[in-house]
Amino acid sequence: MSGWLIRISGWETPEPVRLFAVAASDPRAALVAVQKVTDAAPRLRVETVGQLSADTIRTLGLEPGQVRDLTS
């Protein structure tokens, strides 16, 4: 299973950027998963940055539907 890299940032005000890895093949499902964990939207921008390979998802130890905060 592949996944997605999701970025959360401010719309117009400077906010710390946060990055999340999500084990989901559908980018919309990845966005929803991060939204459920963070409750960021609509006050913050939640967007896909790029697709993650199955190897990367395995290395991160993510199961389908899991989200990992990569910021810290």
pLDDT computed for residue 11 by the predictor:
86
Q: Tell me whether strands 67-69 and 18-22 are parallel, antiparallel or unpaired.
A: antiparallel
Domain of 35?
3-69
> How many separate domains does the chain show?
1
DSSP E strand stretches across 1-72: 3-10, 18-22, 44-52, 67-69
pTM for this model (two decimals): 0.90
What pLDDT, in 10s, does the model give residues 5-62?
Answer: 999 999 877 888 999 999 999 999 999 999 999 999 888 999 999 999 999 999 999 9
